[in-house]
Amino acid sequence: MKVNKNIAVSESGFLFDSMSGDSYSLNPIAAEILRLIRDTKNPEEIKQELLEKYDVSQSALDKSFDEYLFTLKKLNIIK
């Protein structure tokens, strides 16, 4: 799992896709997950890190995390 080279993300969660010209806004957790993907962490490692940091159940995290990755793939932000 890798973030595409044409994707630029700012600290505040502004994402720009230089290929399509589209821009997006991410909430803090969405931006954090993208940073962790950039750091070449795998999904299980990312989820473990989030579980330790945030007050969330495993099932609630799994659902929202998987859905987010699905969306990122559909938008050609990660591959």
Distance from C-alpha of 17 to C-alpha of 8, rounded to nearest angstrom: 7
36 sits near another protein (criterion: CB under 8 A): no
Q: Which is nearer to another protein, 1 or 60 (CB)?
A: 60
Task: Identify the CA nearest to 4 among candidates 38, 30, 31, 28.
Answer: 38
54 sits near another protein (criterion: CB under 8 A): yes
As measured in angstroms, the least distance from the Cβ of 61 to another protein is 7
Q: Which is nearer to another protein, 41 or 68 (CB)?
A: 68
Distance from C-alpha of 13 to C-alpha of 27, rounded to nearest angstrom: 6
